[in-house]
Structure 1
Amino acid sequence: MANHDVIADASPWVRRFAAAIPKEGVVLDLACGAGRHAALLAAQGLTVLAVDQDISALQSLKDARIQARELDLEGSDWPLLGQYFSGIVVTNYLYRPFLDELPNMLSEGGVLIYETFADGNAEFGKPSNPNFLLKPAELLALAQRSGLKVIAYEDIYLDHPKPAMVQRICAVKGHLKGFIPLQFGG
């Protein structure tokens, strides 16, 4: 897959809010999979730390702005403790024991962009296990108890690329340094 194909496959939610991430610092692409969002962020001039339990799918990404690290994200200890990021991007991943760590890892002005499956998704297939589905307003509650300013939030049914219940948020620690494009396409 060519690099531009990976960028094209990036989540429209992440594409919409990526510009809000401050240019200084490092962006964490948590549970990055094949790196579709790491590639998008690097193409926008951001430095990215892409982490996953298996980073073999990242071998095709040849960008000096992307550092890949293989980490156990579901072990007894949080492997990113004490690190700070100008942005954190998470899609299609939920591991509640460390969910509250994410807002603490944002630098001042840092942006959290999170999107994953929500309660009700079992009707459409996998994931169907409640451990991997966000409860109603769970991301909103995370932002509120962490003192993040919510820029945008949705808990909705999507029919593309396949039917799913999805919850997503863009929130900032402190004041927004980047910008949000007025138009939302894709």
Structure 2
Amino acid sequence: MHDAIVNASPWVKRFAAALPKEGVVLDLACGSGRHTALLASLGHHILAVDQDISVIELLKSDAVHIQKFDLEGSDWPLQDQQFSGIVVTNYLYRPFLEELPKMLSEGGVFIYETFAQGNATFGKPSNPNFLLNPGELLALAQRSGLKVIAYEDIYLDQPKPAMVQRICAVKGHLKGCIPLQFAD
């Protein structure tokens, strides 16, 4: 579990503290469970979903529920569910992208990070279907009424060269957040 936490995305680590402690956090397309392990270590209840859950079965606990879903089928398997947070990394399936913000409860936090246009220069993924368009996550947040906490569309050299787009946004007001005050 420690290795999984060490390998967690720095973006997710940076904004994990913004996730509400009450409720359930969705780790969508959770893969090896690196973010599930991180969130569990921080005291969150998690629903980890993927089409292959064999790798993460060991993480199952009272706080970690694991479900096998076809996330790219004709029907959205998480219809009408609500989450206090949603974490997605290195995954993009546009037909259901608009559903994600709808699944956030009030004060819920959306942390999303995946590859962006220009990544083909560095290798896979190179298919435009799996690369975010410029500003795509910002536009999703705007259409969904989410408030953006942070956003980047950048080149990263670690862990390998890549073009990445990432966002952290909240539905409504971030609980426990102290408003910024500016001097005159």
Structure 2-normalised TM-score? 0.95
In structure 2, the residue matched to 1:163 is 161
Q: Matches of 1:36 and 1:179 in 2, distance apart?
A: 26
Q: 2:148 is paired with a residue of what secondary structure?
A: strand
Q: Matches of 1:55 and 1:73 in 2, distance apart?
A: 12
User: Contact 2:47 / 2:67 at 8 angstroms: preserved in 1?
Assistant: yes
Q: Name which of 48, 51, 57 aligns with 2:49.
A: 51
For residues 179 and 38 of structure 1, do their structure 2 counterparts lie closer, same or farther at Cα, with a shift above 3 Å needed?
A: farther
Q: 1:41 is paired with a residue of what secondary structure?
A: helix
Unaligned runs of at least 5 residues, structure 2: 179-184
Q: Matches of 1:67 and 1:161 in 2, distance apart?
A: 29
Q: 1:56 is paired with a residue of what secondary structure?
A: coil
Amino acid paired to 1:157: Y
**1:65 aligned onto 2:75:** no
The structural deviation recorded for 1:41 is 0.4
Q: 1:73 is paired with a residue of what secondary structure?
A: coil
User: Contact 1:10 / 1:37 at 8 angstroms: preserved in 2?
Assistant: yes
Deviations along 1:47-105, one digit per CA (max 9) or x if unpaired, are 00000001000023253211000001000000000000000000000000000000000
Amino acid paired to 1:39: A
- The list of structure 1 runs, each at least 4 consecutive aligned residues, that deviate by more than 6 angstroms after superposition, is none
Amino acid paired to 1:104: K
**1:154 aligned onto 2:174:** no
1:90-105 equivalence runs, <5 A: 90-105=88-103
User: Contact 2:60 / 2:66 at 8 angstroms: preserved in 1?
Assistant: no
In structure 2, the residue matched to 1:133 is 131
In structure 2, the residue matched to 1:36 is 34
Q: Percent identity?
A: 79
Of residues 105-114 and 171-180 in structure 1, the stretch that sits farther from structure 2 once superposed is 171-180
In structure 2, the residue matched to 1:25 is 23
Q: Matches of 1:90 and 1:37 in 2, distance apart?
A: 9
For residues 178 and 27 of structure 1, do their structure 2 counterparts lie closer, same or farther at Cα, with a shift above 3 Å needed?
A: farther
* Paired positions, count: 178
For residues 101 and 62 of structure 1, do their structure 2 counterparts lie closer, same or farther at Cα, with a shift above 3 Å needed?
A: closer
Return the index of the structure with the highest Cα Rg. 2
Q: 1:57 is paired with a residue of what secondary structure?
A: coil
In structure 1, the residue matched to 2:87 is 89
In structure 1, the residue matched to 2:122 is 124
User: Contact 2:156 / 2:163 at 8 angstroms: preserved in 1?
Assistant: yes
Q: Matches of 2:53 and 2:153 in 1, distance apart?
A: 30
